Structure formats: C-alpha cells, structure tokens
C-alpha cells in the first residue's frame, strides 16, 4: 500500500474527496454508534448516489444516523462490522440477502483494521475459538495451543472525523469520538479526514497529535453533525 | 416478558453489590447500564467503555449532554478525574489482557457449564457480536443480568445453551428478576431469591439443575 | 495476565519498586538508545545487585548509559533486542557466551511487545523472511504467500520513564523519549513508571494521556538522568 | 579504509540530490545522517525517525540540546512545524505500510541483484538488525551510501553478497566515494563517477559487473 504523499497543502474540498469514492469502492469509516462517523462525507456520498459499496467499520450506525444512512438506503453490497443491532435496516437487508454481512468480534475488528494500517499480515487470537466466528478461518497451533488467524483489513478509501487537523494532515479527535478513527485513518489507500477546525502549521501540539499526517491524504472542513441523536 | 423499571433497578442494585472499591468495571447495554446508578458514593470505580474511555462518570443532566462523549451504547456520559481517552484497539487490549475486574452483560441463555449465548438468534435476531465475546472470555468476573424467563415464558437458564455461544465456561454469576445464581465447579448454586419470588417458583422456571445454598438469602 | 488493580494511590517508593525485581526476573524496559530508559530504577536495580535478568527492550544502551549499565556489569543472562551496536560490552558477552542475545527486527520487536500488552497471541509478517531472522520460527501460509509467525513478548516487570504521571498511573512522555515506553508499559505483569513529575487527579488532559493508568501498577518519582550522553 | 569529512560530505551532498519537495525520508546512522545538511532551503522534507518522530529539523546549536529529543541514533535534533511524536510501533507502521519515499542506509555489501547486507559480520561484528530490515524492504526507494571498498581494500559491491542479508532485491541506488550506481532490471549501471576518480578506478574496485551509462556524468 504505497501512496503519493503531499507534505503540505492537504486541505481540499468535499468535491475532491468525493472524486475518490465510486460505486463498488471499499470504504472504511471511523466511528462507534454514529459518534465519530464523518457527517459531511457521508452526506456527500449519499447525495452523489454512490452504490454497491463494501463498508468496513465498527457498526451500522442507526437508520438515520451516521453511516447508517448509507446502509438503510441500500448503498452497500457488503458490510464488515462487529454489530448491526442499532440499525434494523441492516438486519433486514442481511435477511433478504441484499447485503452480505461479515461479523468480527469488536476488538478483533479494531486490531484487523490496525494491522491493515501498520503492515501486519495477520494476527492470532483465541477470541472466537469454538464459536460461529471461527467458520472458514485458518487455525494456527502455537506451543500446542490452537488460535484463529485473523487477517488485516484495508480499504480503497478511509473516511474519518477529526476535531482539528492541520495542513499536513495531523489529526486530533474529540473525546470518545476518537474510538476507531485513528485505526481507520491508517488503513486507507487514500485517507480523507473531515475536521471541525483546520489550523496552520505548528498549531497542534506534537505531543497530543493522535494521527500523524503521513497517514492522511486529504483534509476537508466538516459541516458538523446533521442528524438527531437517539438520545435527543 | 419484559420487566418493569422497578424490577430492572432491583437487578441493577443487586449487581452493584458485587462492585468493590478500586475495581475496573465494564457495563453492557440495557439493564447493565443501570448498575452505575446504584454504586455508593464512597466506592471509587473506574468504568471502562469499549469505544475508548476509562473513567466514565454519571449521565449528564438533560441539556448538558456532549454528543462527542458517549458510552459504547451511544448515550452521553461524563468523566471522573483520572479518566483517559484512547482508541478502540487499546480499549480491547485492556479487556483481552484481563484488566477488567468485572463485566456485567445481558444474556439470552446461560447454562450449567457457565456457557453464555447473547449475540444471535439465527434467522430472527442478528444484533452482532460487539464486544461481548472478548468481555465474556477475558474479564476476571462475568456477571450476566437478565430476565429469568423469555417472552414465551420459557427458562433462559438451561442445561445446555441452544443458541450459538458467545463464550464457553465464562459466567461467574447470574442475576435475574427471580434469583441470584452462582456458577460453581459443581454446577449452579441458587444463593438468593429475589423478593417476592419463592424457591419453588425459581426452580419451576429454571431448566438447569439448581443446588440450593445452605445459607439461602432473600434480596429485596 | 491478570493483575490486581488499585485505582488510586499508585504512588510509591523506589524500595517498593525494587521489591518486585529479583534475580532471574524477566524485565522489560522502555527507551531507545538510552533516551527514555528509566534512570532511577536502573540505578536501583544495579545497586540492589540483581543478576541473571532476562532483559527485553529495543537496544543495549551504551556501556554507562541507561540499560547499558546492567548489561556491561553482567547482570543479564539473556537479552532480547533489535541491536546492541552502541554497547560493545554486549557484543563481547554475546561472543563469550556469557549472555544469550536474541535479535528481532526493530519494528517487529515493538509489535511483539505491543502484542504481549494487548493480548494478541501472534503476528504474521514478511519482515525477516529469507534472512537469519527466520531461523527456528514457524511459518504460516496465507493465500499462497508465506509469512513468519512472531510471538508476543511479556515480562514479569516492565519499567518505563514518564514525564508526568498522576496518582492513577496515567502517563505522558517527553518528546522522543516516548519511543517504546507506551508499548512496554502495557506488557508487564507488574508495571513500574518513574516520572519526572507526579500530579493529582484530573491534572492530566484526558485527550493527551498516552498510557491509561490501568496498565500501571506503581509510580515512583524520578531522580533524573544520572549519566553523561554520548553527544555531551 | 575510512573516508575523510570532505568525502563523507560529498557522498551526502550527492544523496541529497535524490530528495524532492514533499518527500518523507528516513536517514540512517553515519554518513546518511549528514544528508539533511545538504537539502536546499526551498525543499520541504519530513524526516522520519524510528524512535517515533515525523518532522525532525536540523541539529540544535551546542548548548541548546534537549536530551529527550533525539533521532534514532541518539543524537539531539529539533522539530519543524507540523511534526508529531508517536511510539515506535507506529513509527514502523509508517515504514511497513510504504509511506517512506526514500530511506538512506549504510551498507557492508551490495550485490548485482540489489541485495543488501548491513547488519552482521558473523563472529566479528554484531551490531544487530535495528530498523534496517524494515527500511530496506519497505521504503519506496532505498539508497545505500558507503565507502566503495572496505578497510582491507576489497570491493563492497559484489556479484553476490557473502554476509547474511538484510533484505533481498531492495537497493535502488548506491552512492560511494567513487561512484553513483543504479540497480536496474539488467544489472548495475554506473551513472556517475565521483571526482577525482576515473571509470577505470571504479571498475577495478568493483567486483560486480558494471554497465557504464551512455550519459555518464562526473559528480564534483
């Protein structure tokens, strides 16, 4: 996964971002239960009419919240996630066979995304052994103990929601909206961050940057959350 | 059969008794999330969330929610002093390395071996695994809180789970609207009966074999 | 690897720390070329006379710098590291057979330590394939490609050097002295941090904490670097 | 044979020519570390260090060193705007995922296949692997800078490496005190001769077969 890096001037537009996302793209998204899903990018993808996506992320959001909108409007042919309970549309599409769903245990999904991002070719775990999760997976025996082999996940495009970005693509996140975003940011062949605020060089504390800019290809301004939360 | 707010709180209150000062605790969605309301002030607990928080505090007051500070169920929370944020990979690193003293989970079925099924009813309900598989396998103590019987009136505590398992031999304690049951090497031990139920009612509504504790108590 | 957690009051003394470290302990240390090695703990271990240690860390420091002192004074029977070039004593002890040295490629060593810390039972990589590094290691074939299986590293005791710690054991590090410290902090059965500054509850920004306190068992005050750097 | 400061800087100056605006670059210890001194002001480069820095700046002035801000070789550095700190696992994640445009490494031997040996002389010198194996395998462009011959006067550019390999078929460009040699599909191509050497001297001191470029240049 080698990509062209621009060191500076990574700031661009939603239009530029959307030019990277096509029918049948493998799209990975940061967020957990809608929190940390990038709202502007998701709305843009929806309005562009992109379809037959393979989506990879923690969950299916809610029907009208976050990534859930793309799921409930039938824009995904496949979803790799840890749960879909909060989006009944996902369950229905899975039941009718309109959308293929692959489940990973939540922390293993996070590690698979990280592995994709940091160039690790597989991880061994005992999580899921003896359960439905092991179906179709290779097993490896180490010191007479058996483990499941879980493979890395990568994407054509990763989309994340940051609190602040600088022009180099360095990112910091907002409280628990960090969740899977730093992992997803590393695993995209092309990574797009939408940020609530975009700042100049040197304005982010190097000690507090969570995602180094090298992982990010394009930064666009966020228009903020455009949905009503379940708790509201 | 759903259970009312009072009964849900009775279960949560009983579960809260298991939490001791200094523990690291993860609460699942539903009844488990009510447990934190029943922890006495003097008990300091670090609540852990799979999305990447250690040190969640109580729910914010209405109107003071921060949409970017939520628990794993997506509901707004607050922080206590000493809290930290991290990514979900680290959150599960904490779980898999066994740092959770207690996890409190919901359940669809539990059996005599302590096996737990709580993530899928094939062909019917597919919520997905979430973090349950890691929590159930790796926490030091796994407490399942649930209704004693399902909505058809059938027992959920079985000789052998029929649904696909979340984890084998993982459950330490079962707390329901009817009973508190410990999973021991010798099988299930009925330790407490929840008021207003009787031992007879518990036994009638449990498929698994239950031994009755010598010092059976009633929890009000 | 389950350990007793105390939520607060993790602050203790060097004496308490040293009571955890014995002859033949498996001791993992943070740091890279001496930078980030915990000086007070290393000096304490040296003065206590602990010997026959198995040391796990990035490198062997310099003869009189950082972890190097324990190596050059023959306190280790085994060293797992990525290089020892800066400490000639390490090379000599290796040549005479007095110290067993196991090399890992640097980034794979870091991932093995992380794996030990986050409960991953093995990782697959193509790094080292076809080189001396593959000797004695299991190979796993995935999609007709062969990879080396690298196993997690854990320790009886991990020692790290932090810039600031709070009483819960939350840690932040100092610039490039971060290096392997956050990884090592996770991989100890018992983890001891020496900190340049120890602060009260809530004084560290939750967004900037690098090591959550749950991984740390004991915090002691640092007396600071007690060696002269090679560049000085 | 050691080489003097001027020659080391000549090599570093030539290597610096390979670095273009906007690149992410990792410099090894020794001659490679001198390369940053020869980058023109208008070229913006993000220097990466294995210990966990992206965005290293020039060396601090004497007396202004920060002992906790060092490169992978343990020498004090500074930061440029946009720099960040991270742990070594992330530093190598950046390397393994192929984000480095150029890595400049020292070498003990390079051969016609582009194989590199630079980490061990069994029985003699065991510096250890360090990050060389990952850098050599995964950077987009691998430049080896070294003396053309070793201290016994023997060639270091060989038909086939004799020492244990760091990585196979990894080297793209070799820059020595005598020559600039490109590793191509068809073998080694002598592109430049370093002043004051002649093509004849380069060929005499190289064991590997060298093709001489049609537009051979002299680097002063």
Q: Is B67 a residue whose pLDDT tops 80?
A: yes
Which of C29, C106, C224 to mutate to probe the D interface, most D CBs <10 Å? C106
Angle A230-A55-A170 (CA atoms, 0-180°, nearest 5)? 85
DSSP β-bridge partners for residue C198: C165
CA distance A80 to A96: 17
Q: Is C1 a residue whose pLDDT tops 50?
A: no
When pLDDT is cut at 50, 70 and 90, the band that residue B3 belongs to is low
CATH number at residue D141: 3.40.1080.10
Q: Is C8 a residue whose pLDDT tops 70?
A: no
Here the tokens at position C110 are 């870091």
pLDDT at C171: 98
Q: Do A142 and C121 touch (CB under 8 A)?
A: yes
**Which residues of D, range 81-110, sit inside 8 Å of A by Cβ?**
81-86, 89-90, 92-99, 101
Instruction: Classify each residue of B155-170 as buried b or exposed e, where b means 16 or more C-beta atoms within 10 Å of its C-beta.
Output: ebbbeebebbbbbbeb
CB < 8 Å to A108, chain C: none
3-class state of residue C52 by DSSP: coil
Which of A1, A107, A111, A122 to mutate to probe the C interface, most C CBs <10 Å? A122
Q: Is D199 a residue whose pLDDT tops 50?
A: yes
Q: Do A142 and C142 touch (CB under 8 A)?
A: no
Per-residue CA distances from D143 to D19, D136, D137, D149, D182 (Å): 11, 9, 12, 17, 9
When pLDDT is cut at 50, 70 and 90, the band that residue A2 belongs to is very low
CA distance B84 to D30: 40
When pLDDT is cut at 50, 70 and 90, the band that residue A1 belongs to is very low
Per-residue CA distances from C207 to B23, B83, C181, D153 (Å): 22, 9, 18, 57
Count the alpha carbons within 13 Å of C93 in the hemisphere toward its beta carbon. Answer: 25
Q: Which residues of B are catalytic?
A: 50
Each residue's pLDDT tens digit, C29-41: 999 999 999 999 9
**What's the average model confidence in pLDDT over D25-51?**
92
Its domain, for residue D61, covers 5-219
Each residue's pLDDT tens digit, B22-66: 999 999 988 999 999 899 988 999 999 999 999 999 889 999 999
CA distance C62 to D49: 19
Cβ-proximal residues to C60 (8 Å cutoff; 6+ apart), any chain:
C67, C68, C71, C79, C81, C83, C84, C86, C87, C89, C90
Residue in chain C closest to A209 (alpha carbons) equals: C208
Q: Is C7 a residue whose pLDDT tops 80?
A: no
Residue in chain D closest to C36 (alpha carbons) equals: D68
Each residue's pLDDT tens digit, A77-110: 999 999 999 999 999 999 999 999 999 999 999 9
- The lowest-confidence range among A83-92, B35-44, C69-78, D210-219 is B35-44
Question: Is D23's Cβ below 8 Å from some Cβ in A?
Answer: yes
CA distance C50 to C17: 13
Q: Are strands B109-111 and B116-117 parallel, antiparallel or unpaired?
A: antiparallel
All structural domains of chain C with their residue ranges: 14-120+154-221
Q: Do C215 and B99 touch (CB under 8 A)?
A: yes
Per-residue CA distances from B148 to B112, B155, C53, C91, D120 (Å): 14, 6, 53, 66, 66
Each residue's pLDDT tens digit, C164-187: 999 999 999 999 999 999 999 999
When pLDDT is cut at 50, 70 and 90, the band that residue B123 belongs to is confident
Per-residue CA distances from B93 to A179, C38, C54, C117, D68 (Å): 13, 24, 24, 7, 28
pLDDT at A11: 96
Contact D166, D119 (CB under 8 A): yes
Helix then strand then coil, in percent of chain A rounded to 5, is: 25, 30, 45
Q: Do C84 and D128 touch (CB under 8 A)?
A: yes
Nearest alpha-carbon partner for A149 in A200, A112, A101: A112
**What's the average model confidence in pLDDT over B103-127?**
91
Q: Do C119 and B98 touch (CB under 8 A)?
A: yes
**Which residues of C, range 176-205, sit inside 8 Å of D by Cβ?**
176-183
Q: Is C203 a residue whose pLDDT tops 90?
A: yes
Which contiguous run of DSSP H or E holds residue B174? strand B173-176
Contact C146, C124 (CB under 8 A): no
Question: Is B165's Cβ below 8 Å from some Cβ in A?
Answer: yes
Each residue's pLDDT tens digit, D43-87: 999 999 999 999 999 889 999 999 999 999 999 999 999 999 999
Q: Which residue has 């179906």 as its token pair?
A: A135
Each residue's pLDDT tens digit, B88-97: 999 999 999 9
- Look over chain C and give the mean of its residue pLDDT values, rounded to a whole number: 95
Write down the H helix ranges in chain C.
14-18, 39-48, 68-72, 88-95, 106-118, 181-186
Q: Chain D: give the shortest CA distance to residue A119, in Å.
A: 5
Here the tokens at position C189 are 């059965």
Q: Is B117 a residue whose pLDDT tops 60?
A: yes
Question: Is A132's Cβ below 8 Å from some Cβ in B?
Answer: yes
When pLDDT is cut at 50, 70 and 90, the band that residue C3 belongs to is very low
Contact A175, A32 (CB under 8 A): no
- Look over chain A and give the mean of its residue pLDDT values, rounded to a whole number: 95
Each residue's pLDDT tens digit, A134-193: 999 999 999 999 999 999 999 999 999 999 999 999 999 999 999 999 999 999 999 999
Q: Do C33 and D91 touch (CB under 8 A)?
A: no
CA distance B110 to B94: 25
Q: Is D93 a residue whose pLDDT tops 70?
A: yes
Q: Is C6 a residue whose pLDDT tops 70?
A: no
When pLDDT is cut at 50, 70 and 90, the band that residue D1 belongs to is very low
DSSP β-bridge partners for residue C155: C188
Q: Is C5 a residue whose pLDDT tops 80?
A: no
Domain C14-120+154-221: state its class.
Answer: alpha beta
B and D interact (at least 3 Cβ pairs within 8 A): no
Each residue's pLDDT tens digit, D99-140: 999 999 999 999 999 999 998 888 787 788 899 999 999 999
Q: DSSP string covering A120-183, please? A: --EEEE-TTTTSGGGTT--EEEETTEEEEEE----EEEEEEEEEEEETT--EE--GGG-TTHHH
Each residue's pLDDT tens digit, A208-231: 999 999 999 999 999 999 999 999
Q: Is D219 a residue whose pLDDT tops 60?
A: yes
| Of residues B68, B71, B91, nearest to A174 (C-beta) | B68
Q: Do B164 and A131 touch (CB under 8 A)?
A: yes
Here the tokens at position B173 are 């304690």
When pLDDT is cut at 50, 70 and 90, the band that residue D210 belongs to is very high
pLDDT at B2: 53
**What's the average model confidence in pLDDT over A114-122?**
98
DSSP β-bridge partners for residue B189: B182, B211
Cα of first residue to Cα of last residue in chain D, in angstroms, is: 21
3-class state of residue A6 by DSSP: coil
Considering its fold, how many domains does chain D have in total? 1
Per-residue CA distances from B75 to A68, D131, D206 (Å): 17, 44, 69
When pLDDT is cut at 50, 70 and 90, the band that residue B199 belongs to is very high
Residue in chain B closest to C207 (alpha carbons) equals: B85
Q: Do D96 and C180 touch (CB under 8 A)?
A: no
| Of residues D22, D84, D96, nearest to A212 (C-beta) | D84
pLDDT at D2: 53
3-class state of residue A78 by DSSP: strand
């Amino acid at each position: 996964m080698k990509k062209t890096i621009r060191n500076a001037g990574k700031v661009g537009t939603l239009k530029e971002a959307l030019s990277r996302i096509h029918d049948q793209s493998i799209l990975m998204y940061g967020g957990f239960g809608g929190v940390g899903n990038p709202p502007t990018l998701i709305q843009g993808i929806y309005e562009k009419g992109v379809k037959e996506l393979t989506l990879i992320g923690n969950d299916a959001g809610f029907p009208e919240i976050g990534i859930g909108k793309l799921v409930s409007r039938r824009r995904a042919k496949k979803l790799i996630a840890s749960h879909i309970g909060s989006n009944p549309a996902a369950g229905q599409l899975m039941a009718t066979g309109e959308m293929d769903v692959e489940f990973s245990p939540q922390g293993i999904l996070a590690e698979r995304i990280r592995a994709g991002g940091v160039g690790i070719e597989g991880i061994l775990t005992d999580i899921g052994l003896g359960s439905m999760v092991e179906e179709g997976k290779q097993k490896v025996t180490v010191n007479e103990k058996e483990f499941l082999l879980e493979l890395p996940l990568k994407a054509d495009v990763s989309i994340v929601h940051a609190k602040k970005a600088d022009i180099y693509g360095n990112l910091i996140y907002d409280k628990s909206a960090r969740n899977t975003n730093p992992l997803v940011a590393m695993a995209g062949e092309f990574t797009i961050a939408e940020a609530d605020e975009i700042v100049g060089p040197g304005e982010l504390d190097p000690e507090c940057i969570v995602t180094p800019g090298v992982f990010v290809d394009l930064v666009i301004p966020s228009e903020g959350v455009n949905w009503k939360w379940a708790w509201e | 059969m759903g259970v009312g707010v009072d009964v849900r709180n009775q279960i949560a209150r009983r579960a809260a008794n298991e939490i001791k000062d200094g523990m690291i605790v993860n609460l699942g969605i539903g009844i488990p999330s009510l447990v934190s309301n029943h922890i006495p002030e003097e008990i300091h607990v670090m609540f852990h969330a799979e999305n990447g928080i250690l040190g969640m505090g109580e729910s914010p007051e209405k109107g003071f929610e921060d949409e970017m500070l939520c628990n794993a169920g997506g509901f707004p929370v607050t922080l206590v002093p000493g809290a930290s944020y991290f990514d979900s990979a680290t959150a599960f690193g904490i779980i898999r390395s066994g740092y959770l003293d207690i996890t409190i989970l919901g359940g669809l079925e539990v059996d005599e071996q302590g096996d737990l099924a709580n993530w899928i009813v094939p062909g019917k309900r597919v919520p997905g695994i979430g973090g349950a598989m890691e929590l159930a396998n790796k926490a030091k103590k796994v407490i399942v809180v649930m209704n004693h019987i399902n909505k058809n009136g059938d027992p959920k505590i079985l000789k052998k789970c029929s649904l696909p398992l979340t984890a084998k031999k993982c459950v330490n304690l079962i707390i329901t609207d009817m009973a508190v049951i410990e999973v021991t090497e010798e099988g299930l031990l009925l330790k407490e009966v929840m008021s207003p139920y009787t031992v007879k009612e518990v036994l009638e509504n449990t498929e698994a074999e239950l031994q009755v504790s010598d010092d059976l108590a009633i929890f009000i």
